[in-house]
Each structure stands twice: as structure tokens, then as C-alpha cells.
Amino acid sequence: MVGDRKVYPVSEFNAGVGSWLARLPRVWVEGEVTEVRSQPTWQTVFLTLSDPDDGATLAVTMARAAYENLATPLQEGARVHAFGRPDLYEARGTFQLRAITIEPVGLGDLRAQLEALRARLADEGLFDPERKRRLPLIPKRIGVVTGSDAAAKRDIVTAALKRFPPARLLIFETTVQGPRAPMAISGALQTIAAQSDVDVIVLARGGGSFEDLLPFSDERVIRAVAESPVPVVSAVGHEHDHPLCDLAADTRAATPTAAAIVVVPDAQELANELRASRRELSRLLRSSIVRSRERLERERRLLLRAPLAGLVATGARINTLRGSVDAELRRSLAQRRDRLEALSSRLATLSPSATLERGYALVRREGRVLTDASVVATGDELEIALGRGSLAAHVDAVHALDQDPDRDADHDERV
């Protein structure tokens, strides 16, 4: 007290005002972004909202983690809704809004519409787990519906061929952004699903803003995915993006690369499985023979100990048993022989020689197999192995993949 006055130090005054502001509820504030200030080392992002009608301004702060997770990056001049609590920065006595989230104007209504669509289609059963189909173990041909974005397409082709070299892909490039995209995407799905040898489809697109990915939440696209005659893998956006087509797809992959890994098997794992199956088949056959011999030996001993009157009956039992054992062995051998032939046929499709017989070539330099043109120099001597025989070649020019990103591998065909 100073005389009859109640006097507050600045810090105490600011603390008191701040405590009163903290009692106010969280609110939505609409304004236009006029300034955004951020540094990589700052834990807080600062921006200013202004009222375009009378020029009033409001300082806004937001935690960096929340700012970086916004569905739509903020741009100066954008009209937004900021949700947060009034706050006072006590060190400077600055009034501000501590924001929790910020959305473009109209985004809330759009999200509400998408949620209503999701609920309606869920009621129809389009997202039921019972509708999900298993992907083929070894697909005959993989359909890929994507945009002209070279990165997403290249990720799928590269990952699929690396994991399973005999993989065959059919690429369908279409519009994946803007008002025409839903019709284009649904049409592409129907066209590629109509190909007789396509038995799985990957619907892929790289990352983008919430608005960029809206075509993949369009009802036409969702129904095209749900009605596809073959299983569909959705690989749209990044891991945190969840367009509604994910719910209708038979499988969801976080990225285009992950989708390629999902749709093709690991060739090395298949070869290992075949070798293990052969070993198991041999073990089972040996075990079956040993058990049969032991049963015959027990019957023989019983026959030797049996009275003369029972010899005829015991002999009949032995003949019956021998016939049963022979039939069991033949049946077991036939079943195991069929499985071995199936596994051998599967392995044959994976062998390098089979790949060469289909018209592909194996290129070596100094005995090492080449997979990347960028490691070859003009003037190098190469050996090219074909299905029958080999060729010696001299490199006159090198065309590396990164010099022509839109050019696909031999497996990349277009509808």
C-alpha cells in the first residue's frame, strides 16, 4: 500500500490479468493471416490475424508441433478460423490468442460434409470388414492408377521389381487433383479392372494438402473402389492422410512404396519356403515309412506267437494291413509329389534363366551384374547374357534414369 492506494507492480498486475484471461473459454476467431514468423529453432510460431473490414489485428501464437501438423499450410492473405484461448504474455504485457488449431474458412463445413458421407456409406456396408478381400500371393499383373507424378510411379515400379523381379505392371496415368479428378479416377479404376489379367490394383498418389486429396474422398471414387471386381490397395498421401477411399479399399498402404511391398511377395522368401518344404516332405516320407515298418513288425511277431488255429485269421489281417499301408503310402506320396511340383513350378518362374527366356537380358561389367546405368562410363566393356548365349558390348553412351524421370522400366506399360 502507498498511503490509501493499492498499487501493483507491473509483473503482479500482468500475472493477475493473465490469471483472469485463463478462465475464459476457448473460442473460434476469424481473420486474415497478415504475418507468419517462424524459425527452425523456435518452439513457438507467431502470426497476426487482421479484420479485413476495419483493420483490427490480433497476435496469435501456436506450438511448433501443432503448426507443423496443420492439414493445410498457412499462407499470408488466407482467411482462417483460429481456435484457442485468450492469453497474456506477462513478460511484455502482450495480449494474444494461444491457438490450438487453425483451419481455412469453410474447411469445418467441408469436414462435416465428409463425415456425413462417411456415415451414410458406412450404413450401406461399403466399409464392412467382411467385404475386404485377400490379395493374390503372386499377382498375374498389377494395375496402377496414379497421376503423372514421376516420384509416386517410380517408387511403385522400383520397389515392386526389386522385391519380385518377374512382376508385371500396367500403369494408368490420370488426373488426380481438381474438379475433374473424381470422374477421371473412377473411370481409370473401371478401365484397368476390366483387363483380364489384372488381379490387383494400386490406387496411388503422393502427398498434398487436405484440399488436394479431396478427390479421393469423392463418392464416385469410393464406390468405384468398393465395386472393383479385383482387390484394391489404397496408397494416397502420407501416413497421416486418411481419405475415405482408404475405408473402401481392401488394403491401405501408408505410401506408394509400401503398396508395392504389399502386392508382391519376396522372391527370396519364396525360394527359402520351397527349400524348407522339400526338406519337410523328405522328413515326412521317411517318418511314414518307419511307422509302417514298425506296424508290420508288430504284426509279424504276433503271427509267430499265435496258435496254429489263428494263423489263417492273422495272415488275413496282415494282408489287409499291408494293402492299407501300401494305399496310404501311395496316397501320401502322390499328395507330396503334387505339392513339390507346384512349388517347383513357382520357383521356376522366379529363376533368372526363366526371366531371360522371356526376352530379358542380364548385363555384367567385370563379372558384376548391373542394375543402374549411372555406374557405367562410356567406353566400358559389357557382357550381355541372353536366354541362349551371350553378347560382348561396348558402351558408346549412357542414359541414366534420373536424366529421364518420366521414362518407365520395361515392365511399365500404359493403357
b/e 32-52 (16+ beta carbons within 10 angstroms → b): bbeebeeeeeeeebebbbeee
- Same domain? For 260 and 276 the reply is no
- Same domain? For 261 and 272 the reply is no
- Per-residue pLDDT band at 415 (split at 50, 70, 90): very low
Mean pLDDT of the region 318-330: 67
Domain count, the chain: 4
pLDDT in tens, 83-100: 999 999 888 899 999 999
Positive or negative, the CA dihedral 253, 254, 260, 265 is negative
Name the average pLDDT for the chain: 83
Q: How far apart are CA 411 and CA 164, in angstroms?
A: 12
- Same domain? For 288 and 374 the reply is no
Which of these three, 350, 369, 396, is where a domain ends? 350
Mean pLDDT of the region 74-79: 78
- 3 state SS of 257: helix
b/e 233-242 (16+ beta carbons within 10 angstroms → b): bbbbbeeebe
- Quote the pLDDT of residue 126: 94
Is 164's pLDDT higher than 60?
yes
- Quote the pLDDT of residue 260: 92
- Same domain? For 216 and 123 the reply is yes
Range of the domain at 328: 268-350
- Same domain? For 142 and 245 the reply is yes
Of residues 309 and 106, the one with the higher pLDDT is 106
Q: How far apart are CA 387 and CA 24, in angstroms?
A: 78
The three grid cell numbers given for residue 288, joined into one nine-digit string? 511314414
Q: Is residue 323 part of a domain?
A: yes
pLDDT in tens, 115-154: 889 999 999 999 999 999 999 989 999 999 998 866 788 8
- Per-residue pLDDT band at 293 (split at 50, 70, 90): confident
| 307 C-beta neighbours (distance < 10 Å), count | 7
pLDDT in tens, 304-316: 775 544 555 555 6
- Same domain? For 135 and 173 the reply is yes
In this structure, of 185-199, 240-254, 277-291, the range with the lowest mean pLDDT score is: 277-291
DSSP 292-356: HHHHHHHHHHHHHHS-GGGHHHHHHHHHHHHHHHHHHHHHHHHHHHHHHHHHHHHHHHHSHHHHH
The three grid cell numbers given for residue 127, joined into one nine-digit string? 466399409
- Same domain? For 30 and 43 the reply is yes
| 122 C-beta neighbours (distance < 10 Å), count | 13
- Same domain? For 366 and 240 the reply is no
- Same domain? For 62 and 33 the reply is yes
- Same domain? For 119 and 211 the reply is yes
Is 410's pLDDT higher than 60?
no
Q: Is residue 176 part of a domain?
A: yes
Which of these three, 204, 237, 265, is where a domain ends? 265
Smallest CA-to-CA distance from 222 within 207, 199, 195, 244 is with: 244
Indicate yes or no: pTM above 0.95.
no
What is the torsion angle, in degrees rounded to the nearest 10, for the CA atoms of residue 402, residue 407, residue 410 and residue 414?
A: 150
Which of these three, 81, 104, 127, is where a domain ends? 104
Smallest CA-to-CA distance from 135 within 186, 196, 199 is with: 199
- Same domain? For 254 and 144 the reply is yes
Q: Is residue 319 part of a domain?
A: yes
DSSP 120-160: HHHHHTTT-GGG--PPPSS-S-EEEEE-S-HHHHHHHHHHH
Q: Is residue 4 part of a domain?
A: no
For the chain, percent of residues with pLDDT exceeding 90: 35
Is 341's pLDDT higher than 80?
no
In this structure, of 31-40, 173-182, 293-302, 353-362, the range with the lowest mean pLDDT score is: 353-362
For the chain, percent of residues with pLDDT exceeding 70: 85
Q: How far apart are CA 391 and CA 144, in angstroms?
A: 34
Q: Is residue 3 part of a domain?
A: no
Q: Is residue 366 part of a domain?
A: yes
- Torsional class of 178: left (φ above 0), alpha (ψ -120 to 50), beta (otherwise): left
**Order of strands, sheet of 390-394, starting from the edge strand that comes earlier in the sequence:** 368-369, 362-365, 381-385, 390-394
Is 111's pLDDT higher than 80?
no
- Per-residue pLDDT band at 357 (split at 50, 70, 90): confident
**Which of the residue ranges 6-10, 106-110, 198-202, 391-395 has the most confident prediction, judged by mean pLDDT?**
198-202
